[in-house]
Amino acid sequence: MSYAVKNLVQEGRELIAFRIGDQEFCVNIMSVREIRGWTPATPMPHAPAYMMGVINLRGAVLPIIDLSARLGMKEAEPTARHVIIVAQVKTKIVGLLVEAVSDILTITDDNIQPVPEVSSELEKQYARGILAIDKRMICMIDLDALFAEKESEAA
């Protein structure tokens, strides 16, 4: 159910694209450790709504974040078909719950378009660019920026 992605050849910039609802997002493949299936998480007390709880990842305690809720969309109702993207955010490893991984993209910088002006604060915080691929729109997420706030919350 889980497969490692770290051995993929890196040419240009490689991104992993995934789906949440009817939207597509992507993150830099370099920050992704592995992708695995959903397993029930142990809820954490006093945690924000997007914090689904923690799971056991080969002996380490891995927090699972409902990326949909974190991005201000509706809370996910995880099923066995959901996947967890295990990613490195700064010094920590987190699991990001998404609906499905859709693609591995190789792009160059000129594929990236700037984030439109209309965006709200939340989008400005995490969105690093927009990709147009096969008439799809994919939003590029900066995980470090997205979770920058998390640490100050915890302090």
Partner 1 sequence: MDMNEIKEIFFQECEEQLAELESGLLKLNDGDRDPETVNAVFRAVHSIKGGAGAFGLDDLVAFAHVFETTLDCVRSNKLEPNHDVLKVMLKSADVLADLVSASRDGGSVDESRTRGLVKELEALAKGELPAGGHEAPKAAPAAPAPKAEAPAPTDDSGFQPIPFTFEGFGDDEEPAIEGATYEITFKPRRELYAKGNEAALLLRDLSRLGEMSINCDMEALPALDKMDPEASYFAWKISLKTTKSEDDIRAVFEFAEWDCELEVKVAEENTSDEELPMTPVPFDLSILDDSAAPAEEEKAAAPAEDPAANAVAAAETATGVAKAVARAAERKEAAAPATPAAAAAAAPQTIRVDLDRVDRLINLVGELVINQAMLSQSVIENDNTGTSSINMGLEELQQLTREIQDSVMAIRAQPVKPVFQRMSRIVREVADMVGKQIRLVTEGENTEVDKTVIDKLAEPLTHMIRNAVDHGIESPEKREAAGKNPEGTIKLSAKHRSGRILIELQDDGAGINRERVRQKAIDNDLIAADANLSDDEIDNLIFMPGFSTADKISDISGRGVGMDVVKRSIQALGGRISISSRPGFGSTFTMSLPLTLAVLDGMVVTVAGQTLVVPLTAIVETLQPETSAIHSFGATQRLISIRNSFCPLVDVGRVLNYRATQANPVEGVALLVESEGGGQRALMVDAIQGQRQVVIKSLEANYTNVPGIAAATILGDGRVALILDVDAVVAASRGQSLKPEMSFAATG
**Can you give the binding site for partner 1, defined by CB under 8 A?**
40-47, 53-56, 58-63, 92-94, 150-151, 154
Give whichever of 54 and 104 is closer to partner 1, judged by the CB atom: 54
Give whichever of 36 and 150 is closer to partner 1, judged by the CB atom: 150
Q: How far is the CB of 117 from partner 1 (least distance, A)?
A: 34
| CA–CA separation, 99 and 97 (whole Å) | 7
* Contact (CB, 8 A) for 84 and 35: yes
Give whichever of 118 and 154 is closer to partner 1, judged by the CB atom: 154
- Cite the beta strand spans of the chain per DSSP E: 3-4, 13-20, 23-28, 32-37, 51-57, 60-66, 83-89, 92-98, 100-107, 112-113, 127-133, 136-141
Q: How far is the CB of 44 from partner 1 (least distance, A)?
A: 6
Q: How far is the CB of 101 from partner 1 (least distance, A)?
A: 21
Structure tokens at 50: 């997007």
Q: How far is the CB of 14 from partner 1 (least distance, A)?
A: 24
Residue labelled with tokens 């799971």: 55
Q: How far is CA 79 from CA 40, 72, 76, 149, in A?
A: 9, 20, 9, 28
Give whichever of 23 and 88 is closer to partner 1, judged by the CB atom: 88
* Contact (CB, 8 A) for 84 and 101: no
Give whichever of 58 and 135 is closer to partner 1, judged by the CB atom: 58
Q: How far is the CB of 39 from partner 1 (least distance, A)?
A: 8
